[in-house]
Structure 1
Amino acid sequence: MTATPDPHSQPDFYKDVPFKRLIAWGIDAVLTFLACLVILPFTAFTGIFFFPLLFLIVGFVYRMITLANGSATWGMRLFAIELRQADGTRLDAGGAFAHTFGYTVSWAFFPLQLISIVLMAVTERGQGLSDHVLGTVMVNRRASYR
């Protein structure tokens, strides 16, 4: 396959993806929080004073590494969804970094995140703001075109 699937002729690729994406995001947030709790003693508990920054850094690294090594975070894998680039291939390290950076910027400026959420809910491919900029798309892995 050389491009992302068409939502009209191949709707199984996009079925329930926005909902799965939301639940996967929640799982990833919990995993990031737990990782931060594990790291906290190694900072002599001074990490409590900069916990939001610690959460941001751990979340960035977690998201980038998991996306680069399978095109999906652990939460996404649990719900059998994955990100694909505009040409239909899985994310590489550069694509994972770019997507994670865009996601982080969206969270830093809440109006951007709000726009992203609305786009995921109303567009036919369920793409967020970062997806639109990068040309990526979230699809169901079971329907995937391996």
Structure 2
Amino acid sequence: MSYAPTSPGLPDPDLAPGFYSGIASKRLVAWLVDLVIVGGLTALAVLLTAFMGLFFLPLIWLVVDFSYRTVTLANRSATWGHRLMGIEFRDRTGRRFDLGMAGLHTLGYTLSMSFVLPQVVSVVLMLTGARRQSLTDVVLGSAAINRPAEAF
């Protein structure tokens, strides 16, 4: 039996493993898609500033990335990359992210991507944990799941 911290609203990985099947690889592809999107939006911002934005490129990237992730997670609990891969995030009660949770998740992601050790810990957790949670997900009690079919 695998270890899964208690989160009453998230599907149990032992009783409903389909919710977590392939999540780690899907998150990787989604991250790559989001990287391309943020890169394109950042390039557009640089063009719109008549290339003056190149002097502030890291700051522009940070603002665009943080805004993109927060807004998309708040709207449908998934970035465009996650939507493409058929996954979405749920909080510890099983609800989709609201603006506050999206902001906290994005902040945690941004901080963990800023340092090597948290990045490594996140990857190890996603590859070994029953719910395939990143470090930020473990701290917040959230998880990425395969998007359940919507009832008509």
> 1:26-50 CA deviation, whole Å, 9 max, x = no partner?
0000000000111112222121122
Q: Pick one of 23, 37, 44 that aligns with 2:43.
A: 37
**Is 2:101 the partner of 1:80?**
no
Query: Where do 5+ consecutive residues of structure 2 fail to align?
Result: 1-7
Q: Pick one of 112, 116, 127 that aligns with 1:121.
A: 127
Q: Considering only aligned residues, what root-mean-square deviation do their CA atoms show, in Å?
A: 1.4
Query: Where do 5+ consecutive residues of structure 1 fail to align?
Result: none
**Is 2:71 the partner of 1:65?**
yes
Aligned length, in residue pairs: 144
Residue 49 of structure 1 corresponds to 55
Q: For the residues of structure 2 that align with 1:52 and 1:144, how far apart are their CA atoms? A: 39
Residue identity (%): 47
Match of 1:69, SS?
Answer: helix
Match of 2:145, SS?
Answer: strand
With the length of structure 1 as denominator, give the TM-score of the two structures: 0.94
Q: What amino acid sits opposite 2:27 in the alignment? A: R
Match of 2:76, SS?
Answer: coil
Shift, 1:68, TM fit: 0.2
Q: What amino acid sits opposite 1:21 in the alignment? A: R
Shift, 1:77, TM fit: 0.2
With the length of structure 2 as denominator, give the TM-score of the two structures: 0.91
- The answer to whether the Cα contact below 8 Å between 1:71 and 1:83 also exists between their aligned partners in 2 is yes
Residue 11 of structure 2 corresponds to 5
Match of 2:21, SS?
Answer: coil
